[in-house]
Structure 1
Amino acid sequence: MCGRYSLSKSKIELEERFQAEMLGDFNPRYNIAPSQLVPVITSDSPKGFSFFYWGLTPEFAKNKPVSINFINARAETVHQKVSFKSAFKQRRCLVPADCFFEWKRVGKKTKIPYRFALENDEAFAFAGIWEEYENEKGENNHTFLILTTQPNSVIGEIHDRMPVILKKEDEKKWLDTYSSEETLLDLLQAYNPELMISHTVSPLVNSVHNDSPAIIRKTSPMDQFGNYTLFG
């Protein structure tokens, strides 16, 4: 499960990192949540950023709102599931990010938020798939989800799944419309744990209404109520 991430880089930094143009302004985001409109790079338009809603509306579910039930899909079966296999074959995307969050359960009522990032805190891309659908007003909307896989040793202590972080050199393969299914599935692996870092963050991340640099700062372990805890 990946239900919250951040993209705290500037527009210029993102354009340079992904070699893609972003039309309009972009404000760094520290607490991105499902149903929100965020930048992605699609196989249809790999030289530019598009803004899609996080929460896939499957191809067969026309005229439906953004679905928070479909924010992730398992990488192991995405090519087989009716809901996702068409998008996997034809509509793949990069989801730019610079960290994601998971919560460690340490008791019946205690969960502690953790931030996971690359060791140099650089931007990276999740592997995603996307859909286009027509809403009730006749407008075309675009939605996406993030693929997940078995966790590496860094995330495995906190959660039993992790988002697929693509290696930089594999991003073009993921977007390439000519990549074979075998090639694509081979890309969907857990990221090297030696290249990742993690630390506890403030329970401010628990609310989607909070979106500030304080979200990603390292803090002493606190539970979801803001109480300091010995668990880390």
Structure 2
Amino acid sequence: MCGRYSLAKSKKALEERFNAEMLEPFHPRFNIAPTQLVPVITSDSPMGFSHFYWGITPEFARNKPVSQRFINARAETIRETVSFKNSFRRKRCLVPADGFFEWKKMGKKTKIPYRFTLLDESLFAFAGIWDEYENTEGEVHHTFLIITTAPNGIVNDIHDRMPVILERGAESIWLDPLASEERLESLLKPRSEDDMLCYTVSPLVNQVANDSAAVIRKTLPMDQFGNYTLFG
């Protein structure tokens, strides 16, 4: 799964990279977690950023809070899964990011956090889908999730899934309302390991409240308790 990512770039950098306008205030985010409100670009409004909650509520589970159980969708089954197939057809989005985190298990108690980025640590987009739901007060909220696929070689050593990082040229296809399901599905593949790098970060990332540049700084391998380890 993909349960944490970063968007540690300025509002101006986001607007220039995605050729879209952001009307709401934004500051760099170093530790984005499920249920938080973050910028996306939808197929309905490709020239501007929208702010949606990460964590989709399926159509059959209205009037319930955003659930962390629904933060990702598997690329292999997205066309058939009842909860997601309608959004795959009609409600796709780009999820801007510049990195994501996974934890490598080293025994029963030790987990080492890693950050994955493109080689130049530039902005990219996860493939996402979005939906809307009504809460108990009758308010409509927009939510999104991130599509995951099999890992490439660099991620495979850490985790058995990775988010779909779209090639830049594929982003407009993903937002195209006329694109066929077959064409869209062909985009949901692992990003080449030759395009990526990873490094260990501080266990500060374990706590959602920690949202500073220290979270993404390269560090010696430390477990979730902050103890240095011999593992890289």
What interval of TM-score do these two structures reach, taking the shorter chain for normalisation?
Answer: over 0.9
TM-score (norm 2): 0.99
What secondary structure does 1:141 align onto? strand
TM-score (norm 1): 0.99
What secondary structure does 1:166 align onto? coil
What secondary structure does 1:215 align onto? helix
By how many angstroms is 1:215 displaced?
A: 0.4
Cα displacement string for residues 125-174 of structure 1 (whole angstroms, at most 9, x for unaligned residues): 00001101121212110011100000000000100000000000000100
Q: Distance in 2 between matches of 1:62 and 1:103?
A: 32
**Counterpart check, 1:142 vs 2:129:** no
Q: Which residue of 1 aligns with 2:80?
A: 80
Q: Distance in 2 between matches of 1:67 and 1:202?
A: 27
Could you list the runs of 4 or more consecutive aligned residues of structure 1 that deviate by over 2 angstroms after TM superposition?
Answer: none
Q: Which residue of 2 aligns with 1:179?
A: 179
Q: Which runs of 5+ in 1 are unaligned?
A: none
Q: Which residue of 2 aligns with 1:207?
A: 207
- Give the superposed CA RMSD: 0.6
Q: Which residue of 1 aligns with 2:161?
A: 161
Q: Which residue of 2 aligns with 1:24?
A: 24
| Identity across matched positions, percent | 69
Q: Distance in 1 between matches of 2:84 and 2:24?
A: 31
Q: Distance in 2 between matches of 1:165 and 1:206?
A: 23
Range with greater deviation from structure 2 (131-140 or 5-14)? 131-140
Cα displacement string for residues 48-85 of structure 1 (whole angstroms, at most 9, x for unaligned residues): 10000000011222222111110011001001000110
Q: Distance in 1 between matches of 2:231 and 2:115?
A: 15
Q: Which residue of 2 aligns with 1:112?
A: 112
Q: How many residues align?
A: 232
Q: Distance in 2 between matches of 1:61 and 1:41?
A: 24
Q: Which residue of 2 aligns with 1:15?
A: 15
